[in-house]
């Protein structure tokens, strides 16, 4: 789980890379869940929220400029 402070310290490129990485992880989690192999279903929710936090931080930077 990422915090607001961690996200503000990252550059735009790092945030974009983090979003892409989290989206790939979420895709893998969904496949595992569909196959019945995922034990911690809450992890999908955490990853979705991390993606939203990163996108919000990126969006806020765009509005400030």
Q: What is the average pLDDT across 39-56?
A: 95
pLDDT for 45 beyond 90: yes
pLDDT for position 65:
66
pLDDT for 3 beyond 90: no
Quick one: pLDDT band at residue 53, thresholds 50, 70, 90? Answer: very high
- Give percent of the chain with pLDDT exceeding 70: 98
pLDDT digits (tens, 9 = 90+) for 8-18: 899 999 999 99
Is 5 in contact with 30 (CB distance < 8 Å)? Answer: no
SS3 of the chain: the string is CCCHHHHHHCCHHHHHHHHHHHHHHHHHHHHHHHCCCCCCCHHHHHHHHHHHHHHHHHHHHHHHC
């Amino acid at each position: 789980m990422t915090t607001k402070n961690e996200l503000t310290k990252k550059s735009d490129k790092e945030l974009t890379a983090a979003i892409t990485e989290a989206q790939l992880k979420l895709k893998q989690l969904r496949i595992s869940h569909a196959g019945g192999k995922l034990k911690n279903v809450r992890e999908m929710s955490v990853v979705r929220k991390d993606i939203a936090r990163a996108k919000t931080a990126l969006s806020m930077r765009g509005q400030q400029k």
